[in-house]
């Protein structure tokens, strides 16, 4: 695949795609056996679930440097857009699989790593192919091609039956689209020259439907789709569109809600067209909004800015060790790690809400 080099300083991503395949046992935090609900987890999407694929892509959308990974195992920056774990890691644990989900493009992966799950996600991607092209990252189509390559490796290493099980018994958790609205639509002029927000979210919905149809064609039958979050309440969007008081940006939030309604309709339609498959809409918007409005209830002290640097604009290449003098000491007090991405604690709380709801559909 060809990756063009573009220069863009700011990228926002708050949504993703995870495939999960179902039933053995890992230990939970207390050491007790935990039931395995899936044989593997396979992840698609953007920076919310990119554990380091962008480390191997010619793009500036990276975070394989401090202070990213500050609270990760060994305080190591792995390419996760966070101070620690990301939702795919929490999902793998909830499903009883393993503690961490590696990047598919990691050249050190073993067959066992592949067999229990990897991530194809790429920070900066979106439903709209233009979104990935602008920052030279892996589009959803690119990620699907990597998935097909992955299945060839599974067939060669484990046989046709194992590959068939992974495809047919997987749960695909899709979580992508924030970059389309925050970056491609509101931050660049290309789409706004030809689309108003209603017609652009229609375009996104068409691309989304095509993507889900492709997953179904490959064999996916358990598909969970995370809604867009309240994009306008991300620290960066408060800074750019929230006025002098840095309130939530109404235009971004309204766009997210508009797309969410169309996404829900797409999934309802797919459910009717393919009654042998499960298409589940998972509400992130209202859950994250609840945390923002009731931070103390969830153990947070700060929800209007991130931990890194000033917390109002820094992310990716703007969140570096140079920012350390202003970076917070305890990220667990912050809902957001940088101006675009939640902290490990924030991800953990949201993952418990969403992934447990999704996993319950397979019990």
Q: How many helices (H) and strands (E) does the chain have?
A: 11, 9
Closest Cα to residue 289, out of 12, 14, 13, 10?
Answer: 14
Beta bridge partner(s), residue 315: none
Q: How far apart are CA 324 and CA 315, in angstroms?
A: 13
Cβ atoms 330, 83 nearer than 8 A: no
Tokens of 45: 């999407």
**Catalytic (active site) residue 168:** no
Among 18, 46, 47, 139, the one annotated catalytic: 47
Query: Do 45 and 70 touch, CB atoms closer than 8 A?
Result: no
Q: Is 321 a catalytic residue?
A: no
Q: Which two tokens stand for residue 71?
A: 């609270």
56 flagged as catalytic: no
Residue 112 CB contacts under 8 Å (≥ 6 apart), including other chains: none
3-state secondary structure of 354: helix
Structure tokens at 110: 């073993």
Which helix (H) or strand (E) is 173 found in, with range?
strand 170-174
DSSP string, 317-333: GGSSGGGTTTS-S-GGG
Among 122, 128, 170, 341, the active-site one is 341
Distance of CA 95 to the CA centre of its chain: 17
Separation CA 298–CA 292 (nearest Å): 9
Q: Any alpha helices (H) in the chain, and if so which ranges? A: 87-94, 111-116, 129-135, 140-158, 160-168, 178-179, 197-218, 235-241, 250-273, 285-293, 344-360
- Exactly one of 338, 339, 343, 351 is catalytic; name it: 338
Q: What is the dihedral of CA 239, 332, 319, 17, to 10 degrees?
A: -80
Please give the angle made by the CA atoms of 149, 152 and 156, to the nearest 5 degrees.
145
The catalytic residue positions are 47, 338, 341
């Amino acid at each position: 695949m060809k990756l063009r080099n573009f220069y863009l300083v700011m990228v926002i991503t708050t949504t993703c795609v995870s495939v999960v395949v179902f039933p053995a046992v890992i230990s939970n935090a207390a050491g007790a056996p935990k039931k395995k609900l899936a044989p593997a987890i396979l992840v698609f999407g953007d920076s919310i679930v990119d554990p380091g694929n962008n480390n191997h892509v010619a793009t500036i959308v990276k975070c394989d440097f401090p202070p990213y990974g500050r609270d990760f195992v060994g305080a190591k920056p792995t390419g996760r857009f966070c101070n620690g774990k990301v939702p795919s890691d929490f999902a793998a644990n909830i499903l009883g699989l393993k503690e961490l989900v590696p990047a598919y493009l990691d050249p050190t992966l073993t067959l066992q790593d592949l067999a229990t799950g990897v991530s194809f996600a790429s920070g900066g991607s979106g439903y709209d192919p233009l979104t990935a092209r602008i920052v030279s990252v892996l589009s959803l189509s690119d990620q699907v091609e990597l998935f097909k390559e992955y299945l060839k490796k599974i067939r060669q290493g484990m046989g046709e039956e194992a590959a068939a099980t992974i495809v047919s018994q997987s749960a695909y958790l899709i979580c992508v689209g924030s970059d389309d609205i925050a970056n491609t639509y509101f931050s660049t002029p290309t789409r706004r020259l030809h689309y108003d927000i209603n017609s652009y979210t229609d375009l996104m919905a068409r691309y989304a439907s095509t993507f889900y149809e492709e997953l179904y064609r490959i064999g996916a039958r358990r598909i969970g789709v995370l809604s867009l979050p309240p994009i306008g309440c991300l620290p960066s969007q408060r800074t750019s569109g929230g006025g002098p008081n840095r309130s939530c940006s109404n235009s971004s939030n309204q766009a997210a809600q508009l797309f969410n309604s169309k996404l829900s309709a797409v999934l309802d339609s797919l459910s009717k067209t393919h009654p042998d498959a499960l298409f589940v809409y998972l509400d992130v918007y209202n859950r994250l909004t609840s945390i923002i409005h009731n931070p103390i209830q969830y153990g947070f002290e700060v929800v209007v800015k991130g931990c890194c640097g000033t917390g109002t604009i820094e992310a990716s290449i703007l969140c570096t060790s140079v920012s350390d003098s202003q970076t917070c000491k305890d990220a667990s007090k912050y809902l957001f790690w940088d101006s675009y991405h939640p902290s490990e604690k924030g991800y953990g709380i949201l993952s418990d809400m969403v992934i447990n709801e999704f996993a319950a559909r397979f019990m």
